Amino acid sequence: MLLIAKRLAGALPNLFGIVLITFLLTRALPGDPAAFFAGGAGSQEAVEQVREKLGLNRSLPEQFWIYVKDLARGDLGQALSTGQPVGAEILSRLPASLELVLASLLFSVSIAIPLGIAAARRPNSWIDHACRLVTTAGVSLPTFFTGLLLAYVFYFVLGWAPSPIGRLDPYLSPPATVTGLYTLDALIAGDVKLFFAALRQMVLPVLTLGIFVLAPLARMTRASMLSVLSADFIRTARASGLSTTSVLVRYALRNALLPVVTTLGMVFSFLLGMSVIVEKVFAWPGVGSFALEALVASDYAPVQGFVLTMAVLYTLLNLAIDLLYVVIDPRVRLGS
């Protein structure tokens, strides 16, 4: 318990630093939001008025203090281009991004781990080399290229994949919001047809994102599996006559998965970052595409909110992984 509390407390200064960096970064964005929103024929006085309204003519430390105060109240500011409160926008769009990222994680884990295990069982065989080649190829192409290529081949040419038109076919209406994840909500509502419709729309973007992170996962699985399989206790288990499956699954895998869990953190970071691009390619209404539009318009509040959200998510995830380690690895629990 104390350990968990300590870890949580350790993350706080981090969060402050994130807020500071985010603020500085977005205030450094070029462009004058005041001029942008003064509209087409804004004269200099009109621009000054808007600047006053937006509070942009105060000193930087003052602006930062106001920002922190608002943040403490949960107020992330207003998106100038839509006039919507940023917090609400991000909350409404976050489930879409999370659904994508989580599904991609699930997909790549379910492919990379078996692949890694297979490669570890027969090191330097053709399976091993094939695994290395395939996963490295996946991580060597820019995500937008993979995405557009997949859309071209599987949607446009073959017609197998559904249209890259967003989360749901335009003729269907989304399920009642419980979690915000269409697939889960559809299941909760008992609407199987909707569940599959939402799932279908996810195929291409999930494939695009997932292919990119196969490599680190497969590689780490292979490496740690290899080192575990050469350990003494495995030899003992085999010598005692236990079947290969039970040796693999009950003994080796559990131990081998520990470093893989650490890699999950890095993988998640990749996925969060690349989701911005995938959302643009597949018209996925997540926080990434929201931030991208805002970035181009020098609309700093959404960009700030987005960067902050991503960083906080990532920090929380790393915390979760740390805590997971404490729970599942007795050495960490007892050792420290």
Partner 1 sequence: MPNLLPARATQQRLAIKKVASGKSFWGHARYVLSDNPFTLVAAGLFTLFVLMAVIGPWIAPYDPLATNVGPTLQPPSASHWFGTDSLGRDILSRVVVATRIDFVIALSAVLASFVIGGLIGACAGYFGGWLDRIVIRLTDMVMSFPLFVLAMGIVAALGNSVFNIIIATAVVNLPFYIRVARTEVNVRREAGFVEAARLAGNGDARILLLHLIPNAMPPMMVQVSLNMGWAILNAAGLSFIGLGVSPPAAEWGIMVAEGATYIISGEWWVALFPGAVLMLAVFTFNLLGDGLRDLIDPRRRT
Partner 2 sequence: MTSLKRRSLLKAASLTPVAASALAVGEAAAQDRKDTLIMANEFGPNMLDIHGLGANRPSYGVAWNVYDRLMTYGRKKLPDGSMMYDYSKLEPELAERWKMDADGMGVTFYLRKNAKFHDGTPVTAADVKWSLDRALGMGGFPTFQMKAGSLEDPSQFKVVDDHTVHVKFVRKDKLSMPDLGVPVASIYNSQLAKKHATEKDPWAAEWLKNNTAGGGAYKVASFKPGQELVLERYDDWKSGPLPKIKRIIQRDIPSAGNRRALLLRGDIDMTYSLPPKDFADFAGDKGKIKVTSLPVENALFYLGMNTTKPPFNNVKVRQAVAYALPYDKIFDSAFYGRGIKQSGGTNDPKTPAWPQPHGYKTDLARAKQLMAESGIGPIETVLSYDLGSATVGEPTAILVQEALAQIGIKLTLNKVPGATWRAALLKKDMPIILNRFGGWLNYPEYFFFWCYHSQDAVFNTMSYKNPTLDKLITNARFAESKPLYDGMVKDMIKLAYEEVPRIPLVQPMMDVAMQPNITGYTYWFHLEPDYRQLVKGANPAAA
276 contributes a contact to partner 1 by CB under 8 A: yes
Shortest Å, Cβ 49 to partner 1: 26
* Shortest distance (Å) from residue 142 CB to partner 1: 4
Q: Residue 258: which H helix or E strand, with range?
A: helix 254-281
- What the block records as the tokens of 265 is 């953190």
Figure out which of the listed residues 134, 148, 266, 332 binds partner 2, where binding follows CB under 8 A.
148
Per CB under 8 A, the list member of 39, 55, 114, 123 interacting with partner 2 is 39
Q: Which of 10, 31, 114, 123 binds partner 2 (CB under 8 A)?
A: 31
Which of 277, 281, 289, 288 lies closest to 148, judged by CA?
A: 281
Single-letter amino acid code for the residue at 155: Y
Nearest to 195 by CA among 99, 287, 286, 93: 99
Q: Which of 106, 166, 227, 235 binds partner 2 (CB under 8 A)?
A: 166
Residue selected from 283, 316, 320, 328 as contacting partner 2 according to rule CB under 8 A = 283
Q: Give the residues across from 78 on adjacent strands.
A: 85
Binding segment for partner 1 (CB under 8 A), chosen from 32-40, 88-96, 126-134, 321-329, is: 126-134
With respect to partner 1, which residue has the nearer C-beta, 197 or 281? 281
What is the DSSP secondary structure assignment for residue 73, as one 8-state letter? T
C-beta closer to partner 1: residue 172 or 223: 223
Number of chain residues interacting with partner 1 (CB under 8 A): 51
Task: Give residues 146-175 in contact with partner 1 (rule: CB under 8 A).
Answer: 148-149, 152, 156
Q: Does 154 bind partner 2 (CB under 8 A)?
A: no
Q: What is the DSSP string of 202-234?
A: HHHHHHHHHHHHHHHHHHHHHHHHHHHHTSHHH
Which one of partner 1, partner 2, none interacts with residue 26, CB within 5 to 8 A by kind?
A: partner 1
Q: In whole angstroms, how far apart are CA 128 and each of 119, 123, 125, 224?
A: 4, 6, 5, 14
Stretch that binds partner 2, among 122-130, 146-154, 215-223, 320-328 (CB under 8 A): 146-154
CA-based nearest residue to 116, from 225, 209, 213, 261 = 225
CA 335 and chain centroid, separation? 32
